[in-house]
Structure 1
Protein backbone atom coordinates (compact mmCIF):
# COMPACT_ATOMS: atom_id res chain seq x y z
CA UNK A 1 0.00 0.00 0.00
CA UNK A 2 1.29 3.47 -0.91
CA UNK A 3 1.70 5.95 1.93
CA UNK A 4 0.06 9.29 1.33
CA UNK A 5 1.78 12.26 3.01
CA UNK A 6 -0.21 14.19 5.58
CA UNK A 7 -1.45 17.58 4.44
CA UNK A 8 -0.50 20.56 6.54
CA UNK A 9 -3.19 22.48 8.43
CA UNK A 10 -2.56 25.43 6.09
CA UNK A 11 -3.16 23.27 3.02
CA UNK A 12 -6.33 21.80 4.54
CA UNK A 13 -7.58 25.29 5.41
CA UNK A 14 -6.88 26.52 1.86
CA UNK A 15 -8.73 23.52 0.42
CA UNK A 16 -11.74 24.24 2.63
CA UNK A 17 -11.72 27.94 1.61
CA UNK A 18 -11.76 26.86 -2.05
CA UNK A 19 -14.65 24.44 -1.46
CA UNK A 20 -16.58 27.13 0.43
CA UNK A 21 -15.98 29.62 -2.40
CA UNK A 22 -17.25 27.07 -4.95
CA UNK A 23 -20.44 26.54 -2.92
CA UNK A 24 -20.88 30.30 -2.60
CA UNK A 25 -20.39 30.76 -6.35
CA UNK A 26 -23.07 28.19 -7.13
CA UNK A 27 -25.52 29.96 -4.82
CA UNK A 28 -24.62 33.42 -6.12
CA UNK A 29 -24.94 32.37 -9.76
CA UNK A 30 -28.28 30.69 -9.07
CA UNK A 31 -29.56 33.85 -7.36
CA UNK A 32 -28.31 36.08 -10.20
CA UNK A 33 -30.01 33.80 -12.75
CA UNK A 34 -33.30 34.05 -10.81
CA UNK A 35 -32.88 37.84 -10.62
CA UNK A 36 -32.20 38.08 -14.36
CA UNK A 37 -35.21 35.89 -15.15
CA UNK A 38 -37.43 38.10 -13.00
CA UNK A 39 -36.32 41.19 -14.92
CA UNK A 40 -36.53 39.59 -18.38
CA UNK A 41 -38.92 36.61 -18.22
CA UNK A 42 -38.43 33.91 -20.81
CA UNK A 43 -35.18 35.30 -22.24
CA UNK A 44 -32.49 33.61 -20.14
CA UNK A 45 -32.04 29.94 -21.00
CA UNK A 46 -29.06 29.40 -18.71
CA UNK A 47 -26.21 31.33 -17.21
CA UNK A 48 -22.66 30.11 -17.77
CA UNK A 49 -19.80 31.22 -15.54
CA UNK A 50 -16.28 30.51 -16.71
CA UNK A 51 -13.25 30.38 -14.46
CA UNK A 52 -9.58 30.01 -15.29
CA UNK A 53 -7.82 27.11 -13.69
CA UNK A 54 -5.60 29.67 -11.95
CA UNK A 55 -8.45 31.87 -10.64
CA UNK A 56 -8.32 32.82 -7.02
CA UNK A 57 -11.29 31.76 -4.92
CA UNK A 58 -13.11 35.11 -5.40
CA UNK A 59 -12.44 35.45 -9.14
CA UNK A 60 -14.37 34.52 -12.27
CA UNK A 61 -13.22 34.86 -15.86
CA UNK A 62 -16.35 35.32 -17.96
CA UNK A 63 -20.14 35.53 -17.66
CA UNK A 64 -22.02 34.07 -20.62
CA UNK A 65 -25.81 34.27 -20.66
CA UNK A 66 -27.46 31.88 -23.10
CA UNK A 67 -30.59 33.66 -24.29
CA UNK A 68 -33.60 33.23 -26.57
CA UNK A 69 -33.21 36.76 -27.98
CA UNK A 70 -29.71 37.48 -29.23
CA UNK A 71 -30.02 41.25 -28.77
CA UNK A 72 -30.63 40.75 -25.04
CA UNK A 73 -27.37 38.85 -24.48
CA UNK A 74 -25.09 41.84 -23.96
CA UNK A 75 -27.53 43.58 -21.65
CA UNK A 76 -28.01 40.47 -19.53
CA UNK A 77 -24.26 39.82 -19.44
CA UNK A 78 -23.57 43.34 -18.21
CA UNK A 79 -26.30 43.06 -15.58
CA UNK A 80 -25.05 39.64 -14.43
CA UNK A 81 -21.47 40.92 -14.20
CA UNK A 82 -22.56 43.91 -12.10
CA UNK A 83 -24.63 41.66 -9.83
CA UNK A 84 -21.81 39.16 -9.33
CA UNK A 85 -19.38 41.98 -8.59
CA UNK A 86 -21.86 43.37 -6.05
CA UNK A 87 -21.92 39.92 -4.44
CA UNK A 88 -18.13 40.07 -4.07
CA UNK A 89 -16.77 38.39 -7.21
CA UNK A 90 -13.93 39.88 -9.24
CA UNK A 91 -13.86 39.58 -13.02
CA UNK A 92 -10.46 38.43 -14.31
CA UNK A 93 -10.84 37.67 -18.02
CA UNK A 94 -7.09 37.32 -18.57
CA UNK A 95 -5.75 33.82 -19.02
CA UNK A 96 -6.21 30.83 -21.25
CA UNK A 97 -7.93 27.64 -20.23
CA UNK A 98 -11.34 27.97 -18.64
CA UNK A 99 -13.87 25.62 -17.15
CA UNK A 100 -17.56 26.40 -16.91
CA UNK A 101 -20.31 26.32 -14.32
CA UNK A 102 -23.78 26.22 -15.85
CA UNK A 103 -26.97 27.24 -14.11
CA UNK A 104 -29.99 26.05 -15.99
CA UNK A 105 -33.57 26.29 -14.84
CA UNK A 106 -32.52 26.88 -11.23
CA UNK A 107 -35.34 29.34 -10.62
CA UNK A 108 -37.86 26.64 -11.45
CA UNK A 109 -36.69 24.42 -8.58
CA UNK A 110 -36.94 27.15 -5.98
CA UNK A 111 -40.11 27.82 -4.09
CA UNK A 112 -41.78 31.17 -4.68
CA UNK A 113 -40.46 32.39 -1.31
CA UNK A 114 -36.91 31.20 -2.12
CA UNK A 115 -37.09 32.95 -5.49
CA UNK A 116 -38.13 36.20 -3.86
CA UNK A 117 -35.33 35.83 -1.31
CA UNK A 118 -32.80 35.30 -4.14
CA UNK A 119 -34.03 38.41 -5.99
CA UNK A 120 -33.99 40.46 -2.79
CA UNK A 121 -30.47 39.28 -1.94
CA UNK A 122 -29.11 40.37 -5.34
CA UNK A 123 -30.96 43.69 -5.26
CA UNK A 124 -29.68 44.40 -1.73
CA UNK A 125 -26.10 43.73 -2.87
CA UNK A 126 -26.58 45.96 -5.94
CA UNK A 127 -28.05 48.75 -3.81
CA UNK A 128 -25.23 48.49 -1.28
CA UNK A 129 -22.68 48.72 -4.09
CA UNK A 130 -24.35 51.72 -5.71
CA UNK A 131 -24.49 53.40 -2.30
CA UNK A 132 -20.74 52.89 -1.85
CA UNK A 133 -20.08 54.17 -5.36
CA UNK A 134 -22.05 57.36 -4.67
CA UNK A 135 -19.93 58.21 -1.64
Structure 2
Protein backbone atom coordinates (compact mmCIF):
# COMPACT_ATOMS: atom_id res chain seq x y z
CA UNK A 1 0.00 0.00 0.00
CA UNK A 2 1.51 3.27 -1.13
CA UNK A 3 -0.20 5.15 1.70
CA UNK A 4 0.70 2.80 4.58
CA UNK A 5 2.57 5.42 6.65
CA UNK A 6 1.11 8.55 5.05
CA UNK A 7 -0.43 11.33 7.06
CA UNK A 8 -4.14 11.28 6.18
CA UNK A 9 -4.17 7.57 5.23
CA UNK A 10 -7.43 7.23 7.16
CA UNK A 11 -9.12 9.10 4.29
CA UNK A 12 -8.35 6.17 2.00
CA UNK A 13 -9.35 3.64 4.66
CA UNK A 14 -12.65 5.41 5.31
CA UNK A 15 -13.58 6.60 1.80
CA UNK A 16 -12.36 3.65 -0.29
CA UNK A 17 -12.14 0.74 2.18
CA UNK A 18 -8.35 0.97 2.13
CA UNK A 19 -8.00 0.61 -1.64
CA UNK A 20 -6.92 3.39 -3.99
CA UNK A 21 -4.52 2.12 -6.67
CA UNK A 22 -2.08 4.52 -8.35
CA UNK A 23 -2.21 2.99 -11.82
CA UNK A 24 -3.05 4.73 -15.08
CA UNK A 25 -3.31 8.14 -13.44
CA UNK A 26 -2.63 11.42 -15.22
CA UNK A 27 -0.09 13.76 -13.65
CA UNK A 28 -2.03 17.02 -13.82
CA UNK A 29 0.07 19.42 -11.75
CA UNK A 30 3.01 19.77 -9.42
CA UNK A 31 3.58 22.83 -7.27
CA UNK A 32 6.28 23.85 -4.83
CA UNK A 33 5.06 25.19 -1.48
CA UNK A 34 7.20 26.88 1.11
CA UNK A 35 10.83 25.95 0.81
CA UNK A 36 10.68 22.15 1.02
CA UNK A 37 7.21 20.89 0.01
CA UNK A 38 5.89 19.52 -3.28
CA UNK A 39 2.15 19.14 -4.01
CA UNK A 40 1.03 16.79 -6.80
CA UNK A 41 -2.38 16.38 -8.40
CA UNK A 42 -3.41 13.29 -10.34
CA UNK A 43 -6.54 12.63 -12.37
CA UNK A 44 -7.75 9.07 -11.87
CA UNK A 45 -9.96 7.37 -14.44
CA UNK A 46 -10.09 4.04 -12.59
CA UNK A 47 -12.58 4.44 -9.77
CA UNK A 48 -12.33 2.06 -6.79
CA UNK A 49 -15.22 -0.32 -6.18
CA UNK A 50 -16.01 1.31 -2.81
CA UNK A 51 -16.64 5.06 -2.75
CA UNK A 52 -18.19 7.41 -0.17
CA UNK A 53 -21.99 7.22 0.09
CA UNK A 54 -22.39 10.94 -0.63
CA UNK A 55 -20.64 10.46 -3.99
CA UNK A 56 -23.33 8.00 -5.11
CA UNK A 57 -25.79 10.91 -5.37
CA UNK A 58 -23.74 12.75 -7.97
CA UNK A 59 -22.41 12.13 -11.46
CA UNK A 60 -18.69 11.62 -11.96
CA UNK A 61 -16.39 9.48 -14.06
CA UNK A 62 -13.02 10.42 -12.55
CA UNK A 63 -11.38 11.39 -9.27
CA UNK A 64 -8.82 14.09 -8.61
CA UNK A 65 -6.23 13.03 -6.01
CA UNK A 66 -3.92 15.54 -4.32
CA UNK A 67 -1.03 14.65 -2.05
CA UNK A 68 2.11 16.41 -0.83
CA UNK A 69 5.68 15.41 -0.19
CA UNK A 70 6.63 17.39 2.94
CA UNK A 71 10.14 18.34 4.05
CA UNK A 72 11.93 17.21 0.89
CA UNK A 73 15.34 15.57 1.34
CA UNK A 74 16.08 15.25 -2.38
CA UNK A 75 14.29 16.14 -5.60
CA UNK A 76 15.28 15.55 -9.20
CA UNK A 77 13.04 16.55 -12.10
CA UNK A 78 14.02 16.05 -15.73
CA UNK A 79 11.80 17.19 -18.57
CA UNK A 80 9.34 19.98 -18.72
CA UNK A 81 5.97 18.64 -19.76
CA UNK A 82 3.28 16.99 -17.65
CA UNK A 83 -0.26 15.83 -18.42
CA UNK A 84 0.70 12.25 -19.24
CA UNK A 85 -0.68 8.98 -17.89
CA UNK A 86 1.67 7.10 -15.59
CA UNK A 87 1.91 4.60 -12.74
CA UNK A 88 3.78 6.42 -9.94
CA UNK A 89 5.88 4.28 -7.65
CA UNK A 90 5.38 5.51 -4.11
CA UNK A 91 6.53 3.98 -0.87
CA UNK A 92 6.24 5.20 2.69
CA UNK A 93 7.68 4.14 5.99
CA UNK A 94 7.99 5.87 9.33
CA UNK A 95 11.31 7.53 8.34
CA UNK A 96 10.67 8.71 4.77
CA UNK A 97 8.55 8.66 1.63
CA UNK A 98 9.88 8.01 -1.86
CA UNK A 99 8.15 8.90 -5.15
CA UNK A 100 9.28 7.95 -8.66
CA UNK A 101 7.47 8.94 -11.86
CA UNK A 102 8.79 8.14 -15.32
CA UNK A 103 7.52 8.86 -18.81
CA UNK A 104 9.23 9.14 -22.20
CA UNK A 105 10.24 12.77 -21.70
CA UNK A 106 9.83 13.22 -17.95
CA UNK A 107 11.35 11.81 -14.78
CA UNK A 108 10.72 12.77 -11.16
CA UNK A 109 12.48 11.31 -8.13
CA UNK A 110 11.56 12.72 -4.74
CA UNK A 111 12.45 11.67 -1.21
CA UNK A 112 10.81 13.44 1.72
CA UNK A 113 10.16 13.08 5.41
CA UNK A 114 6.37 12.88 5.09
CA UNK A 115 3.66 12.04 2.58
CA UNK A 116 0.35 13.82 3.21
CA UNK A 117 -2.85 12.62 1.51
CA UNK A 118 -4.70 15.91 1.06
CA UNK A 119 -7.88 14.99 -0.68
CA UNK A 120 -10.08 13.37 -3.31
CA UNK A 121 -12.63 15.12 -5.50
CA UNK A 122 -15.03 13.37 -7.90
CA UNK A 123 -15.66 15.16 -11.19
CA UNK A 124 -16.83 14.71 -14.78
CA UNK A 125 -13.94 14.42 -17.22
CA UNK A 126 -15.33 15.13 -20.69
CA UNK A 127 -12.50 13.21 -22.36
CA UNK A 128 -13.61 9.98 -20.75
CA UNK A 129 -17.34 10.42 -21.45
TM-score in same-fold range (> 0.5): no
TM-score when normalising by structure 2: 0.30
Identify, as 1 or 2, the structure richer in helix. 1
Higher strand share: 2
- Structure possessing the higher radius of gyration over alpha carbons: 1
